[in-house]
Structures are given as structure tokens and as C-alpha cells.
Amino acid sequence: MKISIIGTGYVGAVTGTCLAELGHQVIFVGRDQKKLDLINSGNSPIFEPGLEQLLRKNQERITTTTDLDDAIRKTELTFICVGTPSQDDGSIDLQQIRDVSITIGKSLGSDNYYHTIIVKSTVLPGTTETLILPLLERESEKKAFVDFGLASNPEFLKEGTAVDDFFRTDRVVIGVNDQKTNEILEKLYRPLNVPIFTTTIRTSELIKYASNAFLATKISFANEIGNLCKKMGIDSYEVFQGVGLDSRISPHFFRSGIGFGGSCFPKDVRALIAHARDLGIEPQVLDAVMRTNEDQPAQMLGLLKRHLDISGKTIGILGLSFKPDSDDIRESRAIPIIEALRKEGAIIIAFDPVSMDNFKQLFPDIRYAKTVYDVLHSDAILIVTEWKEFEDLDYRGKIVIDGRRISKAREEAAIYEGVCW
Ligand code: UGA
């Protein structure tokens, strides 16, 4: 199939490259020529393990353009993968969705071909049918589900393992309203040989939010129990090992510590909270999930202060990205932790294998270590991201406060505190 991918961010770049690997011709549509040039020269526009290799392998099936109209005309299928960032009140900003819907609509109206539009960007239930569809119909003067196809197909990829997640996903969710679009999408995903769950467009949109909100809830729950464990001298990881053996619960996403960050969980839970309030529902569980998450970094600081008067001391930060194998620092727990440490007069030296340049944009005036070893000379070390290489360091004689459970630090440090264990 010939496919346009609008957006070269993490969702677009991974989806497009993986679809090329499945044998499709892919046109990436973006506004940033630098990113498109990277793709054209076989370089990944985002840091994602395995992506660049796949991009190079499928180079002959991949092209790029800034001209959305042209891409639509040359393809049968378009995936909308543009960002839906948070606004100040937590609600989502749909400007990019609006802009591309108008352009796609105009393009659909100017010719007589059949085209299918698939919304992969995370949007609240109803957005595809009450915002995107009317814009497409208005601009094209054509009828959705008759003259062109429209569907929702949320993504469930995790940064750091996104390529693997694409090919080995637990399920593909398709929200459709007509048989033709359903058949096109089933044909597209059949080679993955994974369960395909087909539902309505609105339900599909909510499955995305409910999935992320549930995973975030699991983490905040693990952190609340973990805080209790800490007070009682119990290891929360052992607790959740036991809990997770119950097949109704599952052992995943119970890693307690300093909480979740990233571009998805905080944004999506906040958007769902704002949407619930708009609908007159008080989202008590989701509110608590966010509050617990926002409080976790303070647990780390509290533990540090038990062992050190931090004013004027050098505190080493291991890890700045929101999770390992990613250079993404959006909503990273390192941000509130470093802000709080600085407020208390600490001198920061930080290290991250890949995200120091990104972090410098936010915190230009903290010290960045040349090598990970420089961090080890600090008065105390805080482990904020569980990069694999932190398992190889020599923690003997050190004060370590661990937010992510690095076994070697736990075994070796002179003074060791796990946030939830
Ligand atoms: C998350 C979801 O896991 C994906 O299914 C979804 O597609 C994606 O959001 C999205 O909506 O785009 P991602 O944010 O990339 O993926 O990464 P996760 O592995 O889920 O980690 C998110 C945060 O939760 C990280 O800060 C991680 O450290 C934290 N986490 C995760 C925990 O604190 N404990 C856990 O047990 C698991």
C-alpha cells in the first residue's frame, strides 16, 4: 500500500518505518525540513533503539515531503500522527489536528480518488467524529465513510522499545464505522499476526486513554503501597512479585519508586481529568494518581535529608531522561528533583548517557559530568533513571538514594535508601 505519515515525532517515525518494513511505500510528511533530511539520509529523527537500522534497511520504500496535499494524492492511506500537547489547564491542544484535517479535506475535494484517513494521534473520545470528520467533509464537500474512509487506530508503543512493541503488540485497536475501512486496516495489520480488536471510533479513542490511565494508576498504587512498605521495612518489589502472580492482576507496571514521567501518562491522565470535569464527573481516582505521582520526588529528598544536610553539598544525579533507552526528558522526574535540590542550596552534577543536551535547554546552569564516573565523587548520589550502565558502577563507600532500583547500588553503597524499599 502507499501510505502517508503526517508527523515525524516518535509515533509517526516508528509507525512509518515499521510499515515500510512490512513492505509498504511510505511518505513522511513534516514541517521541519531538518528532520526530513535526516530521514532521507537514513538517520532517525528521534532517539529510539533499532529504528535507524530499520530506516536504513527500508530506505528505498521511504520518501519525505513538506507538501501534505501532494502526499495525499500519491497515497491511499494517511496516518495522522501529529502532537496533541497539554494546555495550561490540562486539556489538549488540537491545533495541529485541525490544521492537517483542513489540508487533507481540501486535498480530498480536489480529486476523485478514494482515500482513507487514520487518526493515530491521541485524541479524546468524540474528536474524530465531531472535529476531524466535519472539517474533512466541509473542506472536501465529500461524505465520510462513503467517499473517503476514516478510522481511529491508537498506538500502544513504549519509548525505548517501540520497534519491538510495533511488531509484537498485545493488540491492535481499530475504531471504524464502515466495512471498507475495516477491511483496509485488517489487511494492513494481518501480517503482524496479533489480536485485532475492532470497535467504534469513540470506543477506540477511549481505549487509548483508559489504557494509559490504568497503567499510570498501577504505578501510583505501587508507589503508595511502596511508601507504606518503606515505613514498615518491607520490600515493595517482593510484595508486588507476590501480588503479580495473581493472573487477574499481572506483574507488570508495579515498579515503585519516584513515579512516572514522559510525554504520555501525565498528559493523557490530565486530559482525561479535564474532560471528566467538563462532563460533570469528579475524577477522584485519576486525581489521586496524579497527586501521588507529584509527591514521589519529595520522598527521595526526604530520604536524602536523613543522611545529609544538603545545603552547599554536591549531589550527583544519575539519569535525566524519563526512562532508560530514551533521550526524552518531558516530565522527567529529574526535573522536580533537581529544582527542589537547588532550592535547598545543593550543587548539582548530572549525567545521562543520551539526554544531557536536551536537559541543558531546561537547566543550562547545572554541571554536566563528562563521564558517569565524575558523578561518583559527589557527597551523595541520586539514581533517577535506571540506565543499564548504572548497574556497572562502583558504589562502595557512597551515599545512594535510589529511585529506580539498581541492584549493584543496593548491594554495595555504604548508605543506601530505596525510595519504596
Ligand atoms: C506509555 C505506555 O506504556 C504505552 O503503552 C503508550 O503507547 C505510550 O505511553 C503512549 O501513550 O504513547 P512510555 O511513556 O513511552 O509508554 O513509557 P513507559 O514504559 O510506559 O513509562 C512511562 C513512565 O512510567 C516512565 O517514567 C517509567 O519510569 C514509569 N514507570 C513505568 C514506573 O515508574 N513504573 C513502572 O512499573 C513502569
Residue 406, pLDDT score: 98
Site residues for ligand 1, CB cut-off 6 Å? 155-159, 212, 215, 219, 253-255, 257, 259-262, 264-265, 322-323
Which residue is associated with the grid cell 498504587? 221
Among protein residues, the one whose CA lies closest to atom 20 of ligand 1: 158
Using one digit for the tens of pLDDT, what is the confidence trace for 380-421?
999 999 999 999 999 999 999 999 999 999 999 999 999 999
Q: What does the alpha-carbon distance between residue 128 and residue 79 come to, in Å, rounded to a whole number?
A: 13
Q: Whole-number mean pLDDT of the chain? A: 97
Residue 92, pLDDT score: 87
Annotated catalytic residue within 18, 81, 229, 264: 264
Ligand 1 binding pocket mutation candidate from 219, 289, 327, 335 (most atoms within 8 A of CB): 219
Atom of ligand 1 nearest to the CA of 257: 33
Average of per-residue pLDDT across 233-247? 98
Ligand 1 binding pocket mutation candidate from 208, 243, 260, 402 (most atoms within 8 A of CB): 260
Classify residue 144 by its DSSP letter. Answer: B
Helices within 171-312 (DSSP H only): 179-189, 201-232, 236-244, 265-278, 284-307
Report the separation in Å between the CA atom of 260 and the middle of ligand 1, taken as the mean of its atom positions.
7
Report the separation in Å between the CA atom of 358 and the middle of ligand 1, taken as the mean of its atom positions.
19
Please say if the pLDDT value at position 8 is more than 90. Answer: yes
Using one digit for the tens of pLDDT, what is the confidence trace for 315-359?
999 999 999 999 999 999 999 999 999 999 999 999 999 999 999
Among protein residues, the one whose CA lies closest to atom 22 of ligand 1: 260
Residue 17 identity: T
Q: What does the alpha-carbon distance between residue 226 and residue 240 come to, in Å, rounded to a whole number?
A: 9
Report the separation in Å between the CA atom of 325 and the middle of ligand 1, taken as the mean of its atom positions.
12
Using one digit for the tens of pLDDT, what is the confidence trace for 25-69?
999 999 999 999 999 999 999 999 999 999 999 999 999 999 999
